[in-house]
């Protein structure tokens, strides 16, 4: 089950928000990187020294172990719609 890491998120009356100001940019970048790696089939390639899946595991507990599994799990949970602008526009 996908859960938000309490060290990175805080509860507010409006819902959960990221604690750190730049967390949203880092999270969105990792989501875009994971989507690219899964859709292009270059899952074993790292374009930076930090893996997108590794970053996402900091924000979410219970992520699937594979990039494809984690990507589908995050899509099903609506994380892409919320954090990645192009995903929101695709549904319009």
- Rounded CA-CA distance 10/49 in Å is 28
92, pLDDT greater than 50: no
pLDDT digits (tens, 9 = 90+) for 25-82: 888 889 998 998 888 876 566 656 678 899 999 999 999 999 999 999 999 999 999 8
Residue 79 · residue 49 · CB < 8 Å: no
Would you kindly state where each structural domain of the chain is located, as residue ranges?
3-84
How far is the C-alpha of 16 from the C-alpha of 84, rounded, in Å? Answer: 17
DSSP string, 2-32: -EE-TTTEEEETTEEEESSTTHHHHHHHHHH
């Amino acid at each position: 089950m996908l859960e938000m890491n309490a060290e990175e998120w805080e509860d507010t009356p409006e819902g959960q928000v990221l604690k750190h100001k730049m967390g949203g940019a880092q999270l969105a970048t990792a989501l875009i990187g994971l989507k690219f790696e899964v859709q292009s089939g270059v899952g074993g390639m790292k374009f930076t020294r930090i893996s997108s899946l590794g970053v996402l595991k900091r924000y979410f507990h219970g992520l699937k172990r594979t990039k494809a599994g984690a990507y589908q799990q995050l899509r099903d949970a609506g994380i892409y719609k919320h954090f990645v602008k192009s995903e929101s526009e695709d549904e319009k």
